[in-house]
Amino acid sequence: MTTSIRVRARLIGATAALMAWAVPSACAYAQTAAGRGEIPATVAAALSDVRIPTSAIGIVVAPLDGGPIQLAANESRPMNPASTMKLLTTYAALNLLGPTFQWRTEVYATSRPHGGRLDGDLVLRGSGDPSLVIERFWVFVHRLRGLGLRQIHGNLVLDKSAFEPDVASGASLDGNDLRPYNVTPDALLVNFKTLSLDFVPDPEASVARIIATPALAGVRLPASVPLANGSCGDWRERLRADFSNPWAPRFTGRYSLDCAEQTWHVSLLDHTHFVGAAFRALWEAAGGTWNGHVREARAPPGAIELLAHESPPLSEIVRDINKFSNNVMARQVFLTLGAPDPDHRASPERSAQAVTAWLTQTGLSMPELVLENGCGLSRRERISADSLARLLRHAYAGPRMPEFIASLPVAGMDGTMKSRSAASGSAYVKTGLLDGVRALAGYVLSSSGHHYVVVAIVNHANAEVATGALDALLNWVQEQG
């Protein structure tokens, strides 16, 4: 099968999936008034088995096309939704920014290059692009080289004025600052500020090779670690990593041959030094020279624009956010909602105001709503199951339905639902996970052909073992709907 045929096959498959979720008629939609009912026995039993009271779960099951079941329990209670809050952020963005919205990153010079040499500073001005991964940053560098630029005799200046300077302030939620899910937003976010370390066993040499992506100039990593026999187990713990010096990580342990290849994603450097180290590595690999340093400042008046890069459209970025629950991408999008024009720097407060105003204008007011960062990685954020269900019904009947539903993980198939077998292939749902929180929200196509909105949020000390109850709810809707 040729590449073009594969691409068309994927497009046809995607179109067929969306056609299965065709919007019901206005008459059918009007008939789906909220109802009440008892929590299904299978769900109640699963909760009881793990000692979670039914008072700790908020549930809404609402038919979209006159289906036979409907359910609401504790639906108005403000609850911590964990990552299901990304549904509000991404749907608001699709409406406020539009599915074709793109972020723009610009490159300026403080003096005009001549003879392949820049005697001034090179300035990168970001707008909060959530998707500037290392492959796209590489294109940036090679386009600069394509302009004939070879030598930079100034600094690399990062203009981050699109965001308020304190958007990344404060401690992480759990203190695990090296974990990529805790990466803070930045107007010039590159590769999610994350270094990927691949450990590849080489039995003949009795070592596991370490391959770092991206290359970061100045970061000195060991080339390998010794191999050991035995089960893989907690292979990260066995490596005995020391990241106290982010420029020179150390591993004093061993790597088990049984682990095969594994990848450890870590966030070591701050945003500014990460960009500087990545740029230097790519620039020198492309044959360029740079004698300066990296620093933060605004682009000066009169700077000369050399080139610009535009992100993929928002519709693609929303898919990455919801399928894989990418926190920092969601935070970048959320902040963009609070920057309506170049005269206002983005802040979480402005974004929360923008989302709240949009909800009011669209008739989706949520008095209980508390927004902090828009991604759900928060102890403060609150929303009710009813509000999430109303949002999902609004999305289902609106013009952004195709992009929105296509962004949701499919049970048993992809994203954060890939390993979940409940309602496999028929549930398009976003998951949420925090200590004390388990949640899901999305759509289920029942075995009888009816479509439902399904929202369930558990807030309880035993929530980590509530997944079985949430899966039982999905199965109940698919089987009984």
If asked whether residues 56 and 149 sit together in one domain, one would say no
Res 46: pLDDT:
98
DSSP string, 1-38: --HHHHHHHHHHHHHHHHHTTPPPPHHHHHT------P
pLDDT of residue 36: 61
- The reply to whether 257 and 374 lie within a common domain is no
pLDDT value, residue 33: 33
Q: How far apart are CA 228 and CA 421, in angstroms?
A: 35
- Written as one string, the DSSP assignment of 293-327 is -EEE-PPPTTPEEEEEEEPPPHHHHHHHHHHHT-H
Nearest to 87 by CA among 399, 389, 380, 332: 389
Mean pLDDT calculated for residue range 326-338 = 97
Comparing C-alpha atoms, which of 385, 478, 430, 476 is closest to residue 38?
476
How far is Cα of residue 347 from the mean position of the Cα atoms in its chain? Answer: 18
Specify whether 364 is located in the same domain as 447.
yes
Q: Is 11 within the bounds of a domain? A: no
Report the relative pairing of strands 122-125 and 104-109 from DSSP bridges. antiparallel
pLDDT for 172 equals 82
CA dihedral 17, 21, 23, 28 (to 10 degrees): 150
The pLDDT, as a whole number, for residue 12 is: 32
How does residue 318 score in pLDDT terms, banded at 50, 70 and 90? very high
Query: Domain check: are 415 and 368 in the same one?
Result: yes
Residue 351, in any domain of the structure: yes
- Partners of 197 in beta bridges: 212, 264
Provide the token pair at 110. 């403080």
Residues 143 and 216 grouped into a single domain: no
The answer to whether residue 15 is domain-embedded is no
CA terminus-to-terminus distance, the chain:
39
Inform me whether the pLDDT recorded for 422 exceeds 70. Answer: yes
Burial of 200 (0-12, 13-18, 19+ CB in 10 A): middle
Establish if 14 belongs to a structural domain. no
Virtual CA dihedral for 327, 328, 330, 331, nearest 10 degrees? Answer: 120
End position of a domain, from candidates 283, 312, 341: 312
Q: What is the pLDDT of residue 168?
A: 76
Question: Would the pLDDT of 56 be above 90?
Answer: yes
Residue 134: inside a domain: yes
275 lies in the same domain as 243: no
For residues 357 and 470, state if they share a domain.
yes
User: Band of the pLDDT at 342, cuts 50, 70, 90?
Assistant: low
Task: Tell me the three state secondary structure of residue 255.
Answer: strand
Q: Check pLDDT > 90 for residue 340.
A: no
pLDDT range class, residue 341, cuts 50, 70, 90: low
Residues 39 and 159 placed together within one structural domain of the fold: no
* 42 shares a domain with 139: no
Q: Which of 234, 266, 298 is the last residue of a domain?
A: 266
Query: How many other CB atoms are found less than 10 A from the CB of residue 136?
Result: 16
pLDDT of 37: 66
**Domain membership flag for residue 358:** yes
Q: Tell me the pLDDT band of 317, cut-offs 50, 70 and 90.
A: very high
Range of the domain at 239: 195-266
Check whether 29 has a pLDDT greater than 90.
Answer: no
Mean pLDDT on 52-78: 96
Question: For residue 27, is pLDDT > 50?
Answer: no
Read off the pLDDT band of 35 (50, 70, 90).
very low
Residue 452 neighbours by CB distance under 10 Å: 27
Q: Is the pLDDT of residue 21 over 80?
A: no
Segment 209-265, tens digit of pLDDT: 999 999 999 999 999 999 999 999 999 999 999 999 999 999 999 999 999 999 999
Non-local CB neighbours of 238 within 8 Å, separated by 6+ positions: 228, 253, 254, 255, 256
Query: How much is the pLDDT for 20?
Result: 45
Give how many domains the chain has, as a whole number: 3
Same domain, 70 and 110: no
pLDDT for 31 equals 33
Residue 382 covered by a domain = yes
The pLDDT tens digits for 268-305 are 999 999 999 999 999 999 999 999 999 999 999 999 99
> Rounded to whole angstroms, how far apart are CA atoms 431 and 274?
30
Query: Mean pLDDT, the chain, as a whole number?
Result: 92
> What CATH code is carried by the domain that includes residue 277?
3.50.80.20
DSSP string, 167-235: TT-S--SSS-TTSGGGPPP-TT--GGG-EEEEEEEETTTTEEEEEEES--TT----SEEEEE-S--SSH
The pLDDT tens digits for 351-390 are 999 999 999 999 999 999 999 999 999 999 999 999 999 9
- Of 382, 481, 459, 150, nearest to 286 by C-alpha is 150
Report pLDDT digits (tens) over 135-172.
999 999 999 999 999 999 999 999 999 999 988 776 78
d(CA 267, CA 246): 9
User: Do 290 and 320 belong to one domain?
Assistant: no
What is the torsional sign of CA 49, 52, 55, 56?
Answer: negative
Same-domain check for residues 250 and 282: no
Query: Does residue 10 sit within a domain?
Result: no
- Mean pLDDT, range 400-405, rounded to an integer: 98
Domain's final residue, options 266, 292, 326: 266
